[in-house]
């Protein structure tokens, strides 16, 4: 299909506030959280919109595999994690998504494009080529230890924003030009930077929990109710006083299942999640890049209890390498680990000191994002 765009739809007009369009997908919450974080950073100077050009079928496909067929997701991820097959994957997807991308360009008339998903890096450049659109384009790379080769199938973006030093060096190995590559840290939503630790008592009291008790924030749903059952049992029978904030999202079945348990508060979906995570002593769950980054921004040690094979597996190494927490994938080993953490305050303090050092680097690196965009839009 031949794509066309009216000349005025792509005109950059100096009399208006410049527009940035962030393209992402709703395949998991992390990509959208990253897009929201960038929007908050860039909104200080630009009019920023977020859009998802992919149809619901892709979101449903990801949700189904990541919940029920992890083995197949892992096979698919590793099978396409190379240049030839990532090129084929991109080519197939581009045929279905370039028209929606063109429609979004017509609608938003952006002065700059940013993507937070590997399966838009190639697709955006192809759509712009079809439209003959000369719009600055940035790729915000996502994961912490390693990203999929699909990010680098075609290296046509004007700038690449690497969330960690590990991803910066991977991008160099993949052939991204050093002049286009910047280590800018992992952006997090403003609520995680502005939350006040002094509200811990109020937050826990509002949940019916004890403000003085050691508190675990547990991300529910990653293993389904059975997996969460085992983790909850291990926490509540650890032999020392602990309580749980169980985040169930929109899972009403899980909310009902865990309702009424002593020392456990069920937390349904809320946009303002930072105060609840900050009220905890430990954060526990699936090691998505956003979740880990939010935890270290709050200076909370993280325990990874499960993971999605493929993109999240390298994040386990990242946690251990930077001493941000622990990896405990076997539920029977959780109780001894929690006993050790609770009975040895020095262990927690060492983690917190490592976390503070990494947090400081990340926040400092984040300061480069807005100036880089300003420079690109000034050309």
**Mean pLDDT estimate for the chain:** 91
186 closest CA partner among 279, 330, 318: 318
Strand partners, 268: 249
CATH domain 7-187+364-378 topology: Rossmann fold (3.40.50)
Token output for 290? 């956003």
Name the band, by pLDDT with cuts 50, 70 and 90, for residue 9: very low
- Residue 60: what pLDDT? 73
Tell me the pLDDT tens digit for each residue of 245-283: 999 988 898 999 999 999 999 999 999 999 999 999 999
Name the band, by pLDDT with cuts 50, 70 and 90, for residue 109: very high
Tell me the pLDDT tens digit for each residue of 282-325: 999 999 999 999 999 999 999 999 998 888 999 999 999 999 99
H/E stretch holding 161:
strand 159-162
In sign, the C-alpha dihedral spanning 284, 290, 292, 296 is negative
- Residue 68: what pLDDT? 75
CA distance 161 to 292: 18
Which DSSP symbol is given to 365?
H
CA distance 297 to 289: 12
Tell me the pLDDT tens digit for each residue of 53-97: 987 767 677 777 777 778 888 888 899 999 999 999 999 999 889
Token output for 132? 């003959």
CA distance 17 to 46: 6
Query: Which residue has better confidence, 63 or 38?
Result: 38
Tell me the pLDDT tens digit for each residue of 221-242: 544 555 899 999 999 999 899 9
- Domain borders along the chain are 7-187+364-378, 193-343
Q: How far is CA 167 from CA 40, 130, 144, 212, 293, in A?
A: 23, 30, 7, 40, 15
Give the global pTM.
0.91
Q: How far is CA 286 from CA 217, 224, 253, 311, in A?
A: 12, 12, 20, 12
Q: How far is CA 376 from CA 92, 111, 148, 170, in A?
A: 30, 10, 26, 23
CATH domain 193-343 topology: Rossmann fold (3.40.50)
Return left, alpha or beta for 118; rule: phi > 0 is left, psi -120 to 50 is alpha, else beta. alpha
- Residue 221: what pLDDT? 58
Tell me the pLDDT tens digit for each residue of 320-378: 999 999 999 998 899 999 999 998 999 999 999 999 999 999 999 999 999 999 999 99
Tell me the pLDDT tens digit for each residue of 162-172: 999 999 999 99
């Amino acid at each position: 299909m031949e794509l066309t765009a009216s000349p005025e739809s792509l005109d950059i007009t100096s009399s208006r506030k410049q527009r940035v369009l962030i393209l992402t997908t709703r395949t998991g919450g992390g990509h959208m959280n990253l897009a929201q974080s960038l929007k908050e950073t860039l909104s200080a100077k630009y009019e920023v919109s977020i859009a998802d050009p992919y149809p619901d079928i892709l979101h449903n496909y990801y949700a189904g595999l990541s919940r029920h067929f992890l083995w197949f997701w892992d096979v698919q991820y590793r099978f396409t994690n190379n240049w030839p097959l990532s090129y084929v994957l991109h080519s197939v997807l581009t045929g279905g998504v370039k028209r929606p991308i063109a429609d979004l360009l017509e609608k938003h008339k952006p002065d700059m494009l940013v993507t937070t998903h590997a399966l838009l890096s190639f697709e955006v450049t192809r759509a712009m080529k079809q439209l003959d659109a000369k719009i600055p384009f940035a790729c915000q790379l996502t994961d912490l230890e390693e990203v999929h080769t699909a990010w680098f199938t075609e290296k046509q973006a004007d700038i690449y924003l690497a969330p960690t030093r590990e991803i910066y060096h991977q991008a160099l190995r993949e052939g991204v030009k050093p002049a286009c590559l910047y280590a800018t840290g992992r952006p997090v939503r403003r609520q995680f930077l502005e939350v006040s630790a002094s509200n811990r008592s109020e937050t826990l009291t509002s949940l019916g929990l004890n403000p003085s008790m050691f508190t675990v924030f547990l991300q529910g749903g990653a293993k389904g109710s059975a997996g969460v059952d085992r983790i909850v049992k291990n926490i509540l029978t650890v032999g020392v006083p602990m309580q749980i904030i169980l985040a169930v999202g929109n899972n009403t079945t899980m909310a009902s299942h865990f309702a009424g348990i002593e020392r456990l508060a069920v937390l349904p979906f809320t946009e303002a999640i930072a105060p609840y995570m900050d009220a905890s002593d430990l954060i526990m769950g699936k090691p998505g890049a956003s979740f880990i980054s939010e935890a270290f921004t709050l200076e909370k040690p993280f325990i990874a209890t499960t993971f999605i094979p493929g993109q999240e597996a390298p994040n386990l190494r990242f946690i251990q390498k930077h001493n941000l927490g622990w990896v405990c994938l076997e539920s029977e080993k959780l109780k001894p680990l929690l006993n050790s953490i609770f009975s040895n305050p020095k262990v927690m303090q060492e983690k917190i000191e490592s976390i503070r050092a990494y947090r400081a680097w990340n926040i400092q690196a984040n300061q480069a994002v807005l100036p880089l965009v300003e420079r690109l839009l000034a050309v």
